[in-house]
Amino acid sequence: MASRLSFANITALAPMVRVGTLPMRLLALDYGADVVYCEELIDIKMAQCRRVENEVLQTVDFVAPDDRVMFRTCEKEKQRVVFQMGTADPDRALAVARLVEKDVAAIDVNMGCPKEYSTKGGMGAALLSDPDKIEAILRKLVSGVSVPVTCKIRILPSLEDTLTLARRIEKTGVAAVAVHGRFKDERPRHPVHCDYIGAVARAVAVPVIANGGSLDLVKTHGDIQAFRVAAGASSVMLARAAMWNPSVFRSAGPLPLHDVMIQYLKYALRYDNHAFNSKYCLCQMLRDKVESALGKRVQAAQNNQELSEAFDLVGVFEETQAALEARRDALQSPERLRDHVIAVDGDVTTMALKFQRREYPPQLTPKMFLLEWSRRQKLEQPTYQTVQRAQDRAFQSTVTVENRKYRSSLWEKSKKFAEQASAVVCLRARGIPESHVGQENGGRPHKRKTEDGRDVGQEKRTKQTGDGERETGGS
């Protein structure tokens, strides 16, 4: 069993909304961060997610009902990533923590963010005025999960109240407390109160992580230790300094920003990060150069390919896409599919597979095989219902045969391919032979007959099929 994460004498990437996604976390670890926090994720949304092992990306994804990936992580960061949640409910917090605890190194509760998206519903800095709820949440988590639990707070207007809260938090059994040295109504332009952080560090025995030094105190890696000493804290976490240039974690000194951005984008491509999130992070790195020629190209980009073009990384983009496609194909090999697990979700039978056009004879498709089989069995013809996913316009189809439903859990690039994939699931789940299995006659498929005696393979490419779809050679 892996050792528990220590928060003593560490330098961490602070939790930052829209910034602390997987590419930025991995980059910070590469450059020397000891621990990385994900962006704050709201418990209500996370509680609805399902855990999915993404074999293509080699990640673990937590996927919302609308198929958005709320949190993505991988083996490389497993022992050093802290999952931060926004919560105001002990039971819901525990449910979310148990959902993710096997894939993260620790759980953190956000009690410091003053923004409305965090404070609404009593989360974030709103918790600072409800110490009873703070204690209830933390005790529930500490006793309910196997990984360390921490929290991140802001200082209160009174030093005495701040110390009282810190001591009360310590008694819940947390592994560390991160302290942002600003009051709830202060913003990054205000100086950080190192004296408050130091007082908290002296008042409790658990490690205290100082936060808030990016404005005045931390410009380079050498400043991190100076901030640690000024705050009297065990550890330091960096937000904006790391957002502007993650190589601030390098003991050997920062790298040119352009090189850092390229490395970030390579991770974004490798892990299929949403293009608009990648664009946001790149623009934060550009800062006052966001209106430069490069900045304008980044802002104009609408997808990962266009982001790659902005940095002259078209070759990297194509290689990455080819590698991911090869992995998809390998996962869909006949050997894998023979042993593929069939899942039943309610009244829907699912398999994780895609329609591979090259596996079928010319002018023949799984839909045609399924239609022919249904006619021979004197069943009603199959019906298809297809939905489109908003974020990437991918398609998923469900086919109904004999009042039973079948679909692929993988999404396709077109409506046609989605329908074909659902037909494949139906054929394989029911054990209906497909012509590409056991072909004879020198590799040529057997001629298959429709109910009226015609050769299916001789139908014209644009002939209207019995299920109402116009088939083409590219389907």
**Active-site residue set:** 113
Nearest 5°: phi and psi at 385?
Answer: -120, 125
CA nearest to 455, candidates 382, 383, 364, 377: 364
d(CA 169, CA 152): 10
Judge contact between 396 and 411, C-beta under 8 A.
Answer: yes
Residue 202 in 3-state DSSP?
A: helix
d(CA 335, CA 353): 13
CA nearest to 109, candidates 82, 91, 131: 82
Q: Which two tokens stand for residue 203?
A: 């008042």
* Pairing of β 348-351 and β 41-42: unpaired
Non-local CB neighbours of 293 within 8 Å, separated by 6+ positions? none
How many CB atoms are closer than 10 A to CB 270?
Answer: 19
d(CA 331, CA 337): 8
Non-local CB neighbours of 262 within 8 Å, separated by 6+ positions? 311, 313
Cα angle vertex 409, ends 406, 410, to 5°?
125
Non-local CB neighbours of 325 within 8 Å, separated by 6+ positions? none
Q: Which residue has the tokens 């993260």?
A: 104
d(CA 124, CA 117): 9
Phi-psi sector, 216: left (phi>0), alpha (psi -120 to 50), beta: alpha
Give how far Cα 143 sits from Cα of 97, 166, 168, 448, Å: 11, 19, 16, 64
* Pairing of β 395-401 and β 404-408: antiparallel
